[in-house]
Structure 1
């Protein structure tokens, strides 16, 4: 009870209603796998601070392309399954996607990361000889060779007024020259005339050839022209332009700051500019030396590689080291730190060798079972027969996963068609398309609706045409088949989990309970450490009943009345005195989910009505 010590009127706010529960999102997708380029954590000797990233959220395929690259092959021959899965996800109705890029770093024979080989994974371009600075691809990969960098300068007007510099601050780049008509931009700066604006004695602005050098006042009759830099970065059809840049690192718009490796102004910038420390006994370069060597025509970066061969351990990754901030979570484990994700997949797992593939899928299922509030979409091995996919399915048992068969076939966007020849085709794992259908079904109908009997968009055909008889074998074993129906198109024709437990046989039932459990979990955190008495029990009970009532009204629960659809008990019958003494509040919740009409049966027979009597 609040304290009242001084006489007076006290106006206090209170609440006479129960807390509300807001349903969690169920259509957010998370993927882990290799991409052409994009955010990935790394620690290198050449970078002072470690580059640590979390899987970014993209809400369209255009955003995915900017962050992780296009549909081009990885390393020249590996199909970019992640990019294709992202495109299929958005084409089939998905809206939110988290991507954890996996990069298989080279390792020594002892299994340790090799710093020299890690550094070689980045494409680079030295500025000057010997190097005064270094352009480097911000992310590892052979894609860095496709990046070109061009630095241009823009010369402004004379900024000297009454012997004083105007409109500039310390760190700005200028060029001194005789008064009169300024030279045009076609005339390159003279190395010895380039200066940096610095603060001299008494706070008066002056000029210095290098940071930390002696500050000179503006000489009489001298003109000072402002110089700004513009960097153009091109990679394929992508062009990024960074204007109004300065050279000195003390300026907020310094080229070294705007295009730094760790936290640049552009989250998805392709390159970074790294200063190169001078050799022992050497002076750092002057502003003129650095400027004249930076200005260049478009020049491609060189080097870079896509690392080692991909393994199941790379895809799974590792959890963050709680004792070392320089060791963040990677791969699939990085997605575990994002609470919003409800669907996960690893499209590249299906392309591994048999033993590695089994390990990767097992780790994916274990990830979902440990976190409880997400569902895995599993891809079968490519070019699997009915017998092979049955054998694959028999190796797993999880109520938090579903497998879909067969693969989908699309027109290869990277292979130009040959005259007179059929368009080249490409086989893709179905997880991206299926995750998009999950999201579309959730958005249009709700998580309680089975994500089946839904059209699969963006494909030419399925890898093989599964017949009625073949599905009669696969469906009872928990393999969800995708089939073509004349006049109805390509559809997902199954909604079963990979579980042997009949209680969790259907995907929509499992996902409905995930939705209910996660929503109640997040929205009832307020009850922790509240006085554990009848008042709290009634509030918790009312909060959950209100939420389940809304859920029932959407058609997610069975029953013509709320009493038939659910019950909530939180009172003396659910807790013993021992529970109360040990700080436990126990609430029992029962719900009656709606199961999908998997088999629609019409029984028809002959019927002869009796003749009417007069």
Structure 2
């Protein structure tokens, strides 16, 4: 506020400049909605690379078209996306659900419940191990996610939590079971067994010796022989020479021998032998044997003492538990139909309405185009296809219009030729809108889940990545088409279009994907589905529609400062200054047509746009106009032969 002068002299005031720079919003943030084997349900998860997709949603899956669309998105230049996992409830064993298991106490009573963090059959590959801790009142917990061959699984991810307590009187302890695990785990959540309010100390996993080992009194023997029986196989002797000089040396030798003893059970390469404290006598120790991913472990000890008895180390009478407790009951559910893709606005929103608080600009629904025969795919039935497709697309277009985004549609995989596509468009006119675009044909890419055989995928993910790449290099006003619009990661096109066939699809606003000898596979069209020759839409072209979306969103965010400001000429002049500066910056970059700023854009905010009545109602009217740069869709070369010229 102004300084109140009280004495003769100089005063300094800092006066606001009135400049509120407008920053352009991102133009190529894609949103993908579809089925995944794992990940949060109906929750928009931001991913910045395909590695994020692998960590959160399980990566590529043979039944997930959306996972392949995301791979193509990042491969072609995409940098940021939101992913929403959806699935239908399903039925029977395939019903959507979370895997779970009760971890027991030594007496067989329940201690606590472990549940997979997200729904899906992936949770059935989770394993839980309870390790003996130094403090007898605490325990360590290991959560492992297995993968690979069922007969020879590997640990894909593992989480370890040390020094936990399940004593319900210590809920304020930062290492209280539910507090420590639920706050950090990306794999599971834990809680008390249903009906139990005081979970108790869980029993240790694997095999813990019932007889103690005196640290200073290991038996004096020339050889140490241990016989191991695994999962009903004939006993296998393990022999290593000499007397171990410590319990730790004994455990290390035992572990090394155990990992190499059974050649036909490679899962035992993960076996662990631990030295754990004896609760009754701190001068003595026990051994805990964890068989990794295996189970069914029994151990007998032979020739351990001079009298050939197992007096020093007795595993024969040990309490045996599963090496790793497996979760069960997880189901993937059925593939999503229109109801799941569209979702609901109730609560936090589901399906596409889960994206309500995100700022996406491109929307992809890759499963819409998959009509291959499948009992688990609602889009595979010809009888329900039209109803499902129309409901999903109709709602998606309306949502994109509200969110200022562009819907990228995949052609159904049941359209083998341009003629079939034209006939399909005639009977599905509801897809035509300035907020939607269709690319044809489908693409063939390598499928790592099927030994890299070709897989047919819709082009929406590839085109979304291409748009992100062109936006970064040239700007949102540049059409994502032409010889520089190469399609990366594409082995072949589902249909090799000729020029005449291209000429029949372009007038009906189908963006063709072409293969040219000098350039490879490229995008060769840039029209919205409202851009057919028979229509006269101002937003015929994709770059014009996207540029308008960009301007609207940028100005909407950039002018929020003007709310509740005094509604008169000082405010109007600031608005003109800030918008004019923003528009001029775009003009210099080539975003608008025209040789001068006056020809390229206009900004009007004065008494001609905001009347006295408007001021009384608290309304400020701003008129922003721009001259879009439309793509040179047809380049015509005229040649003339000169018969001869005479010089004057």
| Counterpart position of 1:121 | 97
| Counterpart position of 1:213 | none
In the aligned structure 1, how far is the partner of 2:614 from the partner of 2:125? Answer: 65
In the aligned structure 1, how far is the partner of 2:88 from the partner of 2:195? Answer: 33
Partner-residue secondary structure (3-state), 1:132: strand
| Counterpart position of 1:342 | 361
1:272 is the counterpart of 2:189: yes
Confirm or deny: 8 A CA contact 2:487 2:522 kept in the other structure.
yes
1:424 is the counterpart of 2:450: no
Which structure 2 residues correspond to residues 209-608 of structure 1 after superposition, within 5 A? 228-236=140-148, 238-248=156-166, 249-260=171-182, 264-266=183-185, 269-278=186-195, 284-287=198-201, 289=203, 297-319=323-345, 321=346, 327-338=347-358, 340-351=359-370, 352=379, 353-371=385-403, 373-384=404-415, 385-394=417-426, 395=429, 396-416=431-451, 424-453=453-482, 454-499=485-530, 500-608=535-643
Confirm or deny: 8 A CA contact 1:556 1:594 kept in the other structure.
yes
Deviation at residue 456 of structure 1 after TM alignment = 0.4
1:132 is the counterpart of 2:111: yes
Confirm or deny: 8 A CA contact 2:93 2:331 kept in the other structure.
no
Partner-residue secondary structure (3-state), 2:567: coil
Confirm or deny: 8 A CA contact 2:133 2:163 kept in the other structure.
no
Moved more, 237-246 or 341-350: 237-246
Partner-residue secondary structure (3-state), 2:449: coil
Relative to 1, partners in 2 of residues 1:119 and 1:35: Cα closer, same or farther, differing over 3 Å? closer
In the aligned structure 1, how far is the partner of 2:132 from the partner of 2:461? Answer: 45
TM-score when scaled to structure 1? Answer: 0.76
Deviation at residue 581 of structure 1 after TM alignment = 1.7
Moved more, 310-319 or 288-297: 288-297
In the aligned structure 2, how far is the partner of 1:131 from the partner of 1:103? Answer: 32
| Counterpart position of 1:146 | 125
Partner-residue secondary structure (3-state), 2:477: coil
| Counterpart position of 1:64 | 53
Partner-residue secondary structure (3-state), 1:480: strand
In the aligned structure 2, how far is the partner of 1:574 from the partner of 1:429? Answer: 46
* CA offset digits 1:7-45 (Å, max 9, x no partner): 89875432224221000000111111111100126xxxx
* CA offset digits 1:148-174 (Å, max 9, x no partner): 33343443xxxxxxxxxxxxxxxxxx2
In the aligned structure 2, how far is the partner of 1:310 from the partner of 1:119? Answer: 13
* CA offset digits 1:97-117 (Å, max 9, x no partner): 11111122359xxxxxxxx99
* CA offset digits 1:302-326 (Å, max 9, x no partner): 222122452101001111x3xxxxx
CA RMSD of aligned residues (A): 2.7
Confirm or deny: 8 A CA contact 2:34 2:66 kept in the other structure.
yes
In the aligned structure 2, how far is the partner of 1:549 from the partner of 1:374? Answer: 24
In the aligned structure 2, how far is the partner of 1:69 from the partner of 1:575? Answer: 55
Relative to 1, partners in 2 of residues 1:364 and 1:28: Cα closer, same or farther, differing over 3 Å? same
In the aligned structure 1, how far is the partner of 2:320 from the partner of 2:545? Answer: 58
Deviation at residue 147 of structure 1 after TM alignment = 2.6
Confirm or deny: 8 A CA contact 2:117 2:189 kept in the other structure.
yes
Larger Rg: 2
Relative to 1, partners in 2 of residues 1:356 and 1:231: Cα closer, same or farther, differing over 3 Å? closer
Confirm or deny: 8 A CA contact 2:129 2:325 kept in the other structure.
yes
Confirm or deny: 8 A CA contact 2:130 2:140 kept in the other structure.
no
Confirm or deny: 8 A CA contact 1:37 1:140 kept in the other structure.
yes
Confirm or deny: 8 A CA contact 1:149 1:232 kept in the other structure.
yes
TM-score when scaled to structure 2? Answer: 0.72
Partner-residue secondary structure (3-state), 2:636: coil
Q: Which runs of 5+ in 2 are unaligned?
A: 149-154, 209-318, 371-378, 380-384
Q: Which runs of 5+ in 1 are unaligned?
A: 42-53, 74-78, 108-115, 156-173, 176-194, 197-226, 322-326, 417-422
In the aligned structure 2, how far is the partner of 1:606 from the partner of 1:554? Answer: 39
Confirm or deny: 8 A CA contact 1:478 1:496 kept in the other structure.
yes
In the aligned structure 2, how far is the partner of 1:143 from the partner of 1:2? Answer: 66
Confirm or deny: 8 A CA contact 2:48 2:79 kept in the other structure.
yes
In the aligned structure 2, how far is the partner of 1:397 from the partner of 1:407? Answer: 19
Partner-residue secondary structure (3-state), 2:580: helix
Confirm or deny: 8 A CA contact 1:36 1:143 kept in the other structure.
yes
Partner-residue secondary structure (3-state), 2:546: helix
Paired residues in the alignment total 499
